[in-house]
Chains A and B, each alone.
Chain A
């Protein structure tokens, strides 16, 4: 993984995922390790995302690194009309690694082709956010004790949700069985279903969260956004069907955990928060260890 960029989850192999999870566990046991020893990391956020940025900055600081960059293109030279190409050509001389978020899709792939240091994608528009997927994998492995042969429920917006698509790609390496629960308009795109069929993996589709939940090992919730619906009446009619409430978790497996990439709006009722099966806040904590592992491995420090 040394010197390799991470733009999309399929840039890494199954073996590389497993190595990242292994190193993440080492950081969870001992998070402060001065491996970067003052080395500089460029954190370039061309659009704001406080949660993701703080997670990366916490990871870099725990590794003893220093951060340069900007938190929003409004405060950088980008507002003066500088091209991405020029910004990356300059910043690549100032640091050992670039973490980048940008509103345009494909921008991070392009940056990784220009930069002479590795680049980590912290989100490129609606396209990819691979460190989210790796922290999801880590959370699944940690709560289930394994990654293989799990029943994975993906709930909500399965059409546009980039996190569910990347998670599907990653878990397809581990013989998962998928349950797609979504409104008709936001179903899992055919290309992903065909991909699973080619691999001989099973999936089920439903428009409702019901008795089927008793089989779940992981319920992965996502936001159902009003603007995704062509018909606002359809949204009003279906929105409550994808809200998880505490009583719905009765009868689910003991090992079952509820995940969510956060921020949530109302798709998980706050009554679920105190249920031991709710795991979405611990999930964010795992993000720091996973990002430490990715940075350390990409710089050849582990």
Chain B
């Protein structure tokens, strides 16, 4: 326990996003647009993890997420855990969930889809949560986990 505290310092109030696969850390930053935030943010990556080999962690002071916003990271960090911190204490723990609709995160796998030819924000309906199968709102073709590219 002591070691963990040394690696990434504790925050007073805010959110800790833990158990991010190390190679998805910067995707999470981009999906949540954390580069636009003004407050204090601490990133840790390549930390040892029992589950993932190496994990990433993000600590955000004075930032709290709506479920619908945080669920946007479920495609790249399905096992991420959210800790809501108030006065150094974890007051709530949350898992991320795959939402029903996915907006502007994933590229459509169909090269003939209009979204790959014109500046159309992508939009998908999640038709299988477990296997992560998405149906494009435009071309109606399926993009699945193996072919998923994050924009």
Do the beta carbons of B118 and A83 come within 8 Å of each other?
yes
Known contacts A105-B112, A105-B113; is-contact A84 B118 (Cβ 8 Å): yes
Do the beta carbons of B140 and A104 come within 8 Å of each other?
no
Which residue of chain B is the closest to A85 with respect to CB atoms?
B118
State in angstroms the CA–CA spacing of A299 and B147 once bound together.
Answer: 41
- Majority DSSP secondary structure for residues of B touching A: loop
- In the complex, how many angstroms separate the beta carbon of A126 from the nearest chain B beta carbon? 7
Which residue of chain B is the closest to A10 with respect to CB atoms?
B140
**Chain B residues with CB below 8 A from A161, complex form:** none
**Chain B residues with CB below 8 A from A105, complex form:** 110, 112-114, 138-141
Q: Tell yes or no: B1 within 8 A of A by CB.
A: no
Q: Tell yes or no: B137 within 8 A of A by CB.
A: yes
State in angstroms the CA–CA spacing of A83 and B137 once bound together.
Answer: 20
A-B contacts at CB below 8 angstroms, number:
49
**Chain B residues with CB below 8 A from A104, complex form:** 112-114, 117, 139
Q: Tell yes or no: B136 within 8 A of A by CB.
A: yes
Which residue of chain B is the closest to A165 with respect to CB atoms?
B140
1/0 contact string of A92-117 vs chain B (CB within 8 Å) = 00000000001111110110000000
- In the complex, how many angstroms separate the beta carbon of B10 from the nearest chain A beta carbon? 47
Q: Tell yes or no: B120 within 8 A of A by CB.
A: yes
**Chain B residues with CB below 8 A from A124, complex form:** 139
Which residue of chain A is the closest to B116 with respect to CB atoms?
A104
Do the beta carbons of B118 and A127 come within 8 Å of each other?
no
Interface residues of B in 86-143 (CB under 8 A from A): 108, 110, 112-115, 117-120, 136-141
Which residue of chain B is the closest to A106 with respect to CB atoms?
B138
Q: Tell yes or no: A128 within 8 A of B by CB.
A: yes
- In the complex, how many angstroms separate the beta carbon of A67 from the nearest chain B beta carbon? 24
Residue among B112, B114, B136, B139 with max Cβ neighbours from chain A (10 Å): B114
**Chain B residues with CB below 8 A from A107, complex form:** 114, 138
Which residue of chain A is the closest to B122 with respect to CB atoms?
A106
Number of residues of chain A lying within 8 A (CB) of chain B:
17
**Chain B residues with CB below 8 A from A125, complex form:** 112, 139
- In the complex, how many angstroms separate the beta carbon of B27 from the nearest chain A beta carbon? 25
Which residue of chain B is the closest to A125 with respect to CB atoms?
B112
State in angstroms the CA–CA spacing of A83 and B119 once bound together.
Answer: 9
Interface residues of A in 71-96 (CB under 8 A from B): 83-85
- In the complex, how many angstroms separate the beta carbon of A159 from the nearest chain B beta carbon? 13
Q: Tell yes or no: A61 within 8 A of B by CB.
A: no
Q: Tell yes or no: A8 within 8 A of B by CB.
A: yes
**Chain B residues with CB below 8 A from A84, complex form:** 114, 118
State in angstroms the CA–CA spacing of A109 and B113 once bound together.
Answer: 11
Do the beta carbons of A110 and B138 come within 8 Å of each other?
yes
- In the complex, how many angstroms separate the beta carbon of A223 from the nearest chain B beta carbon? 19
13 A-B pairs (CB sep. < 8 Å):
A83-B118, A103-B112, A104-B113, A105-B112, A105-B138, A105-B141, A106-B140, A109-B137, A109-B138, A124-B139, A126-B112, A127-B140, A127-B141
